Chains A and B, each alone.
Chain A
Amino acid sequence: DQQVKQNSPSLSVQEGRISILNCDYTNSMFDYFLWYKKYPAEGPTFLISISSIKDKNEDGRFTVFLNKSAKHLSLHIVPSQPGDSAVYFCAASALGGSSNTGKLIFGQGTTLQVKP
């Protein structure tokens, strides 16, 4: 039962262009969403998060959009840089639930390649 899905295993964009990574979820109890970036042989690095009370959060080149009705979120990277090439994971949590443990449910990841 994959509650968080990243349907695109890979994405290739040109340097300077926009990268859009997508994520869908099925559990309506999820109310906190995060994006992590991961290089090979390293741990995930936190990028940006969004609470379900918002529909957009921006931090520098990174913006996350949340569409609760569609149970969909996306990460926009503008402009994309070669150093952004990595695997990006979407993760969700149900912080407001009665069993508020904060455990993260991850998608399968999308490999982003930014070409110079």
Chain B
Amino acid sequence: NAGVMQNPRHLVRRRGQEARLRCSPMKGHSHVYWYRQLPEEGLKFMVYLQKENIIDESGMPKERFSAEFPKEGPSILRIQQVVRGDSAAYFCASSNRVDTQYFGPGTRLTVL
């Protein structure tokens, strides 16, 4: 886990609000992945990004969810108009090539 940073670690939102989750990859890593873990389940792939490009968003819900990885700054996963079903742990992972991914500590989102 060393090096991949996520913030905030815990986020509480009311239904209808927006949630912004940030991920700074390990130094030298240009590949960022987002995963979601619902209670009692494994991690599910959401999106894969490289700098300024979304490479694979096949796991992203069609509405309300978006992700970016700008040229400068962290990757951001944005959830608009959150609902209770969005409550989960969101993990970011980074790699310097397309194989082993290293995970951050996660952001635990609670929607009231």
Q: Which residues of chain B are near A104, meaning CB under 8 Å?
A: 33, 35, 43, 45, 93, 101
Shortest beta-carbon contacts, A-B, top 6: A102-B98, A43-B103, A106-B42, A101-B56, A103-B45, A106-B43
Question: B42, A108: Cβ atoms under 8 Å?
Answer: yes
**A105 neighbours in B (Cβ, 8 Å):** 45
On chain A, the number of residues with a Cβ less than 8 Å from chain B's Cβ atoms is 26
- Interface residue? B25 (CB, 8 A): no
> How far apart sit A46 and B99, CA to CA, in the bound complex (Å)?
12
Assuming A103-B33, A105-B45, is B100 touching A42 (CB within 8 A)? no
Q: What residues of chain A lie closer than 8 Å to B44, measured between beta carbons?
A: 106
Residue B4 CB within 8 A of the other chain: yes
Please name all residues of chain A whose beta carbon is closer than 8 Å to the beta carbon of B102 when the two chains form the complex: 46
The number of A-B residue pairs with CB atoms under 8 Å apart is 70
Q: Do A43 and B104 contact each other (CB < 8 Å), given the known contacts A101-B48, A102-B98, A107-B42?
A: yes
Cβ of B69 < 8 Å from any Cβ of A? Answer: no
Please report which residues of chain B, range 56-112, place their CB below 8 angstroms from some CB of chain A when the two chains form the complex: 56, 58-59, 91, 93, 95, 98-106, 108
- Residues of A58-116 at the interface with B, using a CB-CB cut-off of 8 Å, are 89, 91, 93, 95, 99-109
Q: Is B31 an interface residue (CB 8 A)?
A: yes
What are the residues of chain B within 8 A of A32 when measuring CB–CB? Answer: 99
B17 at the interface (CB under 8 A from A): no
Closest to A99 in B: B56
Q: What residues of chain B lie closer than 8 Å to A43, measured between beta carbons? A: 1, 4, 6, 91, 103-106
Q: Is the CB of A89 within 8 A of B48?
A: no
Q: A44 — which chain B residues lie within 8 A by C-beta?
A: 43, 91, 103
Contact of A42 among B1, B93, B99 (CB under 8 A): B1
Say whether A103 contacts B56, CB under 8 Å. yes
Chain B residue contacts of A103, Cβ below 8 A: 33, 45, 48, 56, 58-59
What string of 1s and 0s marks CB contacts (under 8 Å) between A27-49 and chain B? 00000101010000111111001
